[in-house]
A and B are shown apart, each in its own frame.
Chain A
């Protein structure tokens, strides 16, 4: 059974890779298969692990009827399909966005403040000097309320820009490496797990 799984995986990988030659029916089939399976499994998983424990066990079984309030607010989203009452679905979104924004604003400083504190250090090594210089120049680059048309302001802003370019280059290099790792994973499924050609 496990071997059958690997064979199916390998076939799907090759169908997806066929896109590299050009878009074709095999690729489209693999794409639809993936979407269909993901949606189907997602619905089953949501019913089994999210809805059943909360509705059947907690609401009906343990009498936690307060859960009905968020459930009803959530159900309002379906009003977008009721002509003339689409606006009701926005209540659900408003609660969701309000909760999310409030939560993030309340908790985010705890994540970012240690980094701000970490940028206050002694300039006693080359690393620290470069770090400090780059932090200040990048911050300067993003200050748009001051004109930086010429002179030191412009030059310093350029340094910030170059620092950003280096960071983007590093990120791009990492992404290339990551994609190669993904190819290796797929090759291992085809060559090792399915065909048993490599160890």
Chain B
């Protein structure tokens, strides 16, 4: 057998096989179990332990690329928060084009379903340039930090919730951040949560999974939702399966396929090497 061929399979064939392996479970769900990790449980519990009516600051710091991983987290957060009559104040510092819209769409969907009103129960402040400076100002004056308007340019005077939320220091109980990089956890930690000693939790793209472990260990981050898997676990905890859980079968099959090809490639490499050594 020509083992070297295993190392040089046409990449387009791999794409098609991986795509097929991911599409099939979407048509015929396998229902693979999703165990809930300790980190996801911590996120759920830190929100669950807040007093009813608390104000949660949610920053959806993402762009279109990683939105499929992070959007389900926002939906599940809105469901848990509104169930506890918590208020949500949102920002989106990563991408001015889609961040604020994604935040609005995913909270609005749940808000309408649960009879929550924009301006009373939640507000979207959107994107502001220079996240660090904006966060620093918002610590003591949210209105000044965002220029006195929400994401559509509507003055904050119009929203009863914003009469209550004047500064992060005094009026916000928890920061929930979903992020794909910078600005992200580190930025919020540096300028807001560490100086104010406020709890910080949230989720991130799985690309950041290894990079946040030390923040969890040191207690600076109260739990962590890792990518689509974390979103699926959080949806289970909130008790409302959504986009996260529906994608888990496809993701598991995708992983298995990647692993199989990884093994085949390595078998090909070692067999070809031993054959060459013999010759």
What is A's interface to B at a CB cutoff of 8 Å? 20-21, 37-38, 41-42, 45-46, 48-50, 52-54, 57-58, 99-100, 103-104, 107-108, 110-111, 114-115, 117-118, 167, 170-171, 174-178, 180-188, 191-192, 197-199
Taking A45-B97, A100-B132 as contacts, is the C-beta distance between A115 and B218 under 8 angstroms? Answer: yes
Whether B66 pairs with A191 at a CB distance below 8 angstroms is no
Whether A181 pairs with B206 at a CB distance below 8 angstroms is yes
Q: Which of A111, A167, A184 contacts B251 (CB 8 A)?
A: A184
Residue of B nearest to A184 (CB): B247
Can you show 29 pairs from A to B with CB atoms below 8 A apart?
A41-B96, A41-B97, A45-B96, A49-B128, A49-B147, A50-B128, A53-B153, A103-B136, A110-B189, A111-B194, A114-B194, A114-B219, A115-B218, A118-B217, A174-B207, A177-B206, A177-B229, A180-B255, A181-B247, A181-B251, A182-B65, A182-B66, A184-B22, A184-B68, A187-B26, A187-B250, A191-B26, A192-B26, A198-B27
Contacts of A38 in B (CB 8 A): 97
**Residue from A21, A41, A50, A181 whose CB has the most chain B CB atoms within 10 Å:** A181
Whether B246 pairs with A188 at a CB distance below 8 angstroms is yes
Q: Which of B12, B68, B191, B229 contacts A188 (CB 8 A)?
A: B68
User: SS class of chain B's interface: helix, strand, loop or mixed?
Assistant: helix
| B239 close to chain A: CB less than 8 A | no
Q: A188 to B149, alpha carbons, bound, how many Å? A: 34
Contacts of B194 in A (CB 8 A): 107, 110-111, 114
Least Cβ distance of A15 to chain B in Å? 15
| B209 close to chain A: CB less than 8 A | yes
Taking A181-B247, A187-B250 as contacts, is the C-beta distance between A58 and B148 under 8 angstroms? Answer: yes
